Chains A and B, each alone.
Chain A
């Protein structure tokens, strides 16, 4: 635990900056209220006020923490973990779209990379389109995906997952193309001296060689997938999901709700990436490559 010290230092610095920011940004509202009530407030009274406003410009960390607890732990305690007011419920909605999109994106990414590595025509033709696809702003294309899919009768989880897939297949393609091409000439020649088939070459040499490249790509893909799911919830007036919470919060100026949804999304992403990290460690260790 020798990096505990530096980590705590950074976390403390973030909290200090956050509190300072909350005071600075919320101060004017505290003074306004006092002015209208015709009272003079001292600096410390002002600071105290900035910590507990109902709709602060920047909510203080403890307010966000309290809101998150109210919408998660407390709901669980009341046995209403999946009520519509619970962040667990909204997180689950977003998480399910994220995971489905991630799975679809990984499958698409791996298949495209195999095609690109083994087929010269695909190598020349697919890669430029893969790169071009990522230059289109997702915010522009997300509503269209949802409208088009809706028109053919697909709604709910799948359209969001498609947007997640759209974002997450890219890092997988790039990483896997590199990974599948990582065995050097000698290794490939060696396979040829044994008259190995293309399939044997893939399963016994190229796929195992690509593992160290796959996992970093999966981490990026997972984070992108979550962003995709949230973005997918924004333009549709979705009533559930972290994206919907963000949107509802901004309609009604519920900054605390926005921030708690944001922090939850970040924690979710961190947890998902950490899970991939653990799988990576286990797999590479078992393969004798870590």
Chain B
């Protein structure tokens, strides 16, 4: 199982602004393998979200190369290769939870029976059975974000890209969702790209942690996690976990400088 799913070679992205060019990404080299859970962590401005958006064809790199499933991000997007989860759930208030999950399927022209089947499946995956007919405002923030993950899973993409999906939630809800996300990952064997600014979250979830630093945005360190695939919440008190967290923190500090 070592086939590369996402591969970036000398990837750079420079935004032209009124204050001169901003190097959001500079010479990024990274391979993500099938079934990996990769976290991108770093201070704001380090380009972690921009990198994820490049994979999703939401930003266009100015130099270098990136492939998703062996093809360009645009082709991968058209082939429904990935589901994307944003920081805010972004559910449509005029659609029920079921209707929201159905939305990408409608857009992709999936027939009604298959839509019903997918909705049922993914609601079960995120433990929201019975909420299909509810409206988003009837759900808590954590449940809304789960619904939004369900929507990203609905069309059976093999890659799940998540941009600080739990950033706006409180810590207790976040712990719970992290646990559920691991369970979901184990069950579906997706490849996950996960942007976060929380060290415990990155260490707890990932098989690979990519530490990034700003100005210009580049990869400072790539840590292969030695934690087992089975991870109860209290693994966070183990010496192994603390050691990895330490290395991440050191990486962040070294890359950050004094500004």
- Chain A residues near B (Cβ < 8 Å): 186-187, 189-196, 200, 204-205, 208, 211, 287-289
Hey, which chain A residues are within 8 Å of B155, CB to CB? 194
Across the interface, A193 reaches (CB within 8 A) one of B56, B92, B95, B137, namely B56
Q: A204-B107, A288-B135 are in contact. Are A186 and B92 (CB under 8 A)?
A: no
Instruction: Assess the B108–A194 pair: CB atoms within 8 A.
Output: yes
Across the interface, A194 reaches (CB within 8 A) one of B88, B107, B137, namely B107
Across the interface, B94 reaches (CB within 8 A) one of A189, A194, A208, namely A208
8 Å CB interface, B67-98 against A: 77-78, 80, 82-84, 86-88, 90, 92-96
Give A38 to B230 CA distance when docked, in angstroms: 112
- Closest B residue by C-beta to A208: B94
**Counting CB contacts under 8 A, is B223 at the interface?**
no
Hey, which chain A residues are within 8 Å of B124, CB to CB? none
Q: Distance (Å) between the CB of B185 and the closest chain A CB? A: 20
Q: A187-B90, A289-B93 are in contact. Are A193 and B58 (CB under 8 A)?
A: yes
Instruction: Assess the B107–A205 pair: CB atoms within 8 A.
Output: no
Instruction: Assess the B77–A195 pair: CB atoms within 8 A.
Output: yes
Instruction: Assess the B77–A208 pair: CB atoms within 8 A.
Output: no
Hey, which chain B residues are within 8 Å of A200, CB to CB? 107
Instruction: Assess the B86–A288 pair: CB atoms within 8 A.
Output: no
Q: Distance (Å) between the CB of A214 and the closest chain B CB? A: 13
- Closest A residue by C-beta to B106: A204
Instruction: Assess the A204–B103 pair: CB atoms within 8 A.
Output: yes
**Counting CB contacts under 8 A, is B142 at the interface?**
no
A-B pairs with beta carbons under 8 Å apart, 16 shown: A189-B58, A190-B86, A191-B107, A192-B77, A193-B56, A193-B58, A193-B84, A194-B104, A194-B107, A194-B155, A196-B107, A200-B107, A205-B92, A288-B93, A288-B135, A288-B136
8 Å CB interface, B134-159 against A: 135-137, 155
- Chain B residues near A (Cβ < 8 Å): 56-58, 77-78, 80, 82-84, 86-88, 90, 92-96, 103-104, 106-108, 135-137, 155
Across the interface, A288 reaches (CB within 8 A) one of B78, B84, B94, namely B94
Give A204 to B99 CA distance when docked, in angstroms: 11
Instruction: Assess the B86–A186 pair: CB atoms within 8 A.
Output: yes
Instruction: Assess the B92–A208 pair: CB atoms within 8 A.
Output: yes
Give A208 to B92 CA distance when docked, in angstroms: 9
- Closest A residue by C-beta to B137: A288
Hey, which chain A residues are within 8 Å of B96, CB to CB? 288
Q: A193-B77, A195-B77, A289-B93 are in contact. Are A186 and B108 (CB under 8 A)?
A: no
Hey, which chain B residues are within 8 Å of A196, CB to CB? 107
Instruction: Assess the A186–B88 pair: CB atoms within 8 A.
Output: yes
Q: Distance (Å) between the CB of A286 and the closest chain B CB? A: 8
Give A189 to B90 CA distance when docked, in angstroms: 11
Hey, which chain A residues are within 8 Å of B93, CB to CB? 287-289
Instruction: Assess the A186–B107 pair: CB atoms within 8 A.
Output: no
Hey, which chain B residues are within 8 Å of A193, CB to CB? 56, 58, 77, 82-84
Since A193-B56, A195-B107, A205-B92 are in contact, a sample of 15 more A-B pairs with Cβ atoms closer than 8 Å, ordered by chain A residue number, is: A186-B86, A187-B90, A189-B86, A190-B90, A192-B77, A193-B58, A194-B103, A194-B104, A194-B107, A195-B78, A195-B108, A200-B107, A287-B93, A288-B93, A288-B137
Give A190 to B84 CA distance when docked, in angstroms: 7
Hey, which chain B residues are within 8 Å of A191, CB to CB? 107
Instruction: Assess the A192–B58 pair: CB atoms within 8 A.
Output: yes
- Closest A residue by C-beta to B108: A194
Q: Distance (Å) between the CB of B15 and the closest chain A CB? A: 15
* Residue of A186, A191, A192, A195 most packed against chain B (CB within 10 A): A195
Hey, which chain B residues are within 8 Å of A289, CB to CB? 93-94
Q: Distance (Å) between the CB of A193 and the closest chain B CB? A: 4
Give A225 to B84 CA distance when docked, in angstroms: 46
Closest 4 CB pairs of A and B: A287-B94, A193-B84, A194-B104, A288-B135
Hey, which chain B residues are within 8 Å of A211, CB to CB? 94
Q: Distance (Å) between the CB of B244 and the closest chain A CB? A: 31
Hey, which chain B residues are within 8 Å of A288, CB to CB? 93-96, 135-137
Give A205 to B106 CA distance when docked, in angstroms: 13
